[in-house]
Amino acid sequence: MHVFNYFKYACWGLLTLLITTNISSAQDLSALGLPALTTATGENGQTTYSLSLQILLLMTALTVLPSLVLGMTAFTRIIIVLSILRQALGTQQTPPNQVLIAIALFLSFYIMSPIFDVLYVETLTPYLDGNLSTEMAMSQGLSVLKEFMVSNTRVDTLNMFADLSDVGPFDDKQAIPISIVLPAFITSELKTAFEIGFLIFLPFLVIDMVIASILMSLGMMMLSPMLISLPFKLLLFVLVDGWSMTVGSLSATFLVE
């Protein structure tokens, strides 16, 4: 089923790419028997698309929206840290995956709220009022998101992808291509998330080792140390207000300008 969905999304994307790049005029579309998918160039040089083509582009954008949420926001780092925290606690499926995803999603909205406010005021509102073209709106919105991603990406990771692409150096953040920023941001987020997860895992690992040593000294080798250490780890996590500390520390690791 997943393979079928990926194939379907790929077909939608390929169809949209072919329409927007290779079919540039209404005459070409009419010749192909697609009168509903037309484009027209206005007097000011701006290109307008028919309603059918706009709906097609919108549906294609909706298919890649989950990937954008995962790859261009704070979601990746948060969900990885929360998953490692659950594994360190040893609570198996508690909290369940749906709860972790909800926490990561709404915490991402909280962290990204200054970015979303800028996008709403400077890009979305002028676009809805008709004062900004689609191309300009997309360009401005991408610039704001690129500023956030570059600010939270390690310099060495950016340099690595720039060297692989044989481009650079760059004058400023906006000069870095999005094709370099996206993989660099994801790679940097993975590294940062695992570093935070390592620090979270250590105190719970110490508790497991202490409980295992005590049980072995008492000759209770058949008793699972994980079963005994779980209440102590939960008690420690509750006493130090672990959820607030984890969420607050995660929020503080992001740079939002």
- Helices H / strands E in the chain, number of each: 11, 2
d(CA 133, CA 129): 10
| Cα–Cα distance measured from residue 177 to residue 174, given in angstroms and rounded to the nearest whole number | 8
* Range from 19-33, 112-126, 218-232 carrying the lowest mean pLDDT: 19-33
Q: Contact at 8 Å (CB) between 173 and 146?
A: yes
Q: Which residue has the higher pLDDT, 38 or 157?
A: 157
Q: Report residue 222's pLDDT band, with 50, 70 and 90 as the boundaries.
A: confident
> Which whole number is the average pLDDT over 204-226?
83
Distance of CA 214 to the CA centre of its chain: 43
pLDDT at residue 32, as a whole number: 44
Q: What is the pLDDT of residue 17?
A: 45
Q: Name the pLDDT band for 198 (thresholds 50, 70, 90).
A: very high
Name the band, by pLDDT with cuts 50, 70 and 90, for residue 19.
very low
**Do 228 and 211 touch, CB atoms closer than 8 A?**
yes
Residue-wise pLDDT tens digits, 150-182 = 888 898 888 888 888 888 778 777 788 888 888
pLDDT at 71 (0 to 100): 81
Per the listing, tokens 């926490």 go with 103
Count of CB atoms situated within 10 Å of the CB of 28: 13
Tokens of 168: 């650079």
Report helix, strand or coil for 41. strand
Is there a contact between 112 and 78 (Cβ–Cβ < 8 Å)? Answer: no
